[in-house]
Amino acid sequence: PHVIGIETSCDECAVAIVAGRPGKARILSNVVLSQIDLHQAYGGVVPEIAARAHGETIDRVTREALAGAGVDLGAVTHVAATAGPGLLGGLLVGATFGRALAAAADRPFVPVNHLEAHVLSPRLSDGVAFPYCVALLSGGHAQFVAALEPGVYRRLGGTIDDAAGEAFDKTAKLLGLGYPGGPAVEAAAREGDPKRYAFPTPLARREGCDLSFAGLKTAVRLAAEAAAPLTDRDVADICASFQDAVARLLVLKSARALEAFRAIAPAPTALVAVGGVAANGTLRAALAEVAARDGLPFVAPPLSLCGDNGAMIAYTAIERVAAGLPAGDPRVRSRWPLDATAAPMIGAGK
């Protein structure tokens, strides 16, 4: 199959063409138009502005993706678009555009869960085999997931308050580093001392692999207030200490996630990190150590596949079609838990 994948759930207008089969797919084009400059002045994504911008650019981005892949619409076998979770206005633009494209080309439309797409991205980039253990660390989520087979995912634990990216974005905002915060915090942290502040690792003593970032955010705010007016040095030290605390928390909890994983499936093939926050070098290194200690490979997709993109959406359709999974409800939705995309677990126990 040659699948066109459309992603408009947040502030990236992205379209890609992916060909091939599960574990062996090729990205023919992957166009990502970021709206960062439109939202920067507001310190975060403004849903109405995002939706309108998607409407203005989706056609051009799609043409670029087709031209970049050197295929015309007639060569496309399936049209996939993110149907959720995400911002409804943007989702509507992408999914409606996708459905129209599918109707025009007389091809099936495949609605895709954005989280499933993040979770499957290491199979696209590295051909990671099922079952594998996922740290899903994105702008709106922070959870550990057992990816058991196509369409079958079990949430092992996750955040009880903020998402991982949210923690980075809020820290950046507090320190005046602008939006989006993740890359800015990572850059500032490079110059800083991670030992200057002993920020807490929330829920460290609680069993299991649930996460929490709210207490960490408060600790960062208190440190920033105490050090005000902040010098560049202070900002760098706070960022480095914050990142270090997130790394310590993820080290602890990902080891527990692997334990929880083995309770439902004996042999994970890898520990993987996906989502925009998985672009963070310090966190990647920390998770790689956990995997190594466990005798497992660590995989994180290249940066171009960590943030939102159309390739992971197209690839998810390739997996679902190959596995014979039903296309499901094409209507968009703002909330769509990963477990809900699961195929009926016939004979899968429990």
Q: Which residues are annotated as a binding site for Fe cation?
A: 114, 118, 308
35 binds, among ligand ATP, Fe ion, Mg ion, none (CB under 5 to 8 A by kind): none
Residue 34 beta carbon to Mg ion: minimum distance, rounded to whole angstroms: 7
Among 7, 11, 169, 210, binds Mg ion (CB under 5 A): 11
Nearer to ligand ATP, 37 or 106 (CB): 37
Q: Does 116 bind Mg ion (CB under 5 A)?
A: no
Binding mask 7-36 for ligand ATP (x = CB under 6 A): --xx--------------------------
Q: Which residue has the tokens 């790394």?
A: 247
Residue 107 beta carbon to Fe ion: minimum distance, rounded to whole angstroms: 25
> Please, which residues have CB within 8 angstroms of residue 349's CB and are 6 or more apart in sequence?
none
Stretch that binds Mg ion, among 9-17, 63-71, 77-85, 161-169 (CB under 5 A): 9-17
Cis peptide before 229 (omega within 30 of 0): yes
Q: Is the distance from CB of 143 to CB of 159 less than 8 angstroms?
A: yes
Q: Is the distance from CB of 98 to CB of 80 less than 8 angstroms?
A: yes
157 binds, among Fe ion, Mg ion, ligand ATP, none (CB under 5 to 8 A by kind): none
Among 86, 122, 157, 202, binds ligand ATP (CB under 6 A): 86
Binding mask 167-196 for ligand ATP (x = CB under 6 A): -xx----------xxxx--x----------
Q: Is the distance from CB of 272 to CB of 122 less than 8 angstroms?
A: yes
Binding mask 290-309 for Fe ion (x = CB under 5 A): ------------------x-
Q: Is the distance from CB of 160 to CB of 298 less than 8 angstroms?
A: no
Query: Strands 78-84, 2-7: parallel, antiparallel or unpaired by DSSP?
Result: parallel
What SS3 string covers 155-198? Answer: EEEEECCCCHHHHHHHHHHHCCCCCCHHHHHHHHHCCCCCCCCC
Residue 316 beta carbon to ligand ATP: minimum distance, rounded to whole angstroms: 13
Q: Does 169 bind Fe ion (CB under 5 A)?
A: no
Residue 118 beta carbon to Fe ion: minimum distance, rounded to whole angstroms: 6
Binding residue positions for substrate: 136-140, 169, 182, 186, 280
Nearer to ligand ATP, 125 or 138 (CB): 138
Residue ranges that bind Fe ion, judged by CB under 5 A: 138, 308
Residue ranges that bind Mg ion, judged by CB under 5 A: 10-12, 308
Residue ranges that bind ligand ATP, judged by CB under 6 A: 9-10, 86, 114, 118, 138-141, 165, 168-169, 180-183, 186, 275-277, 279-280, 307-308
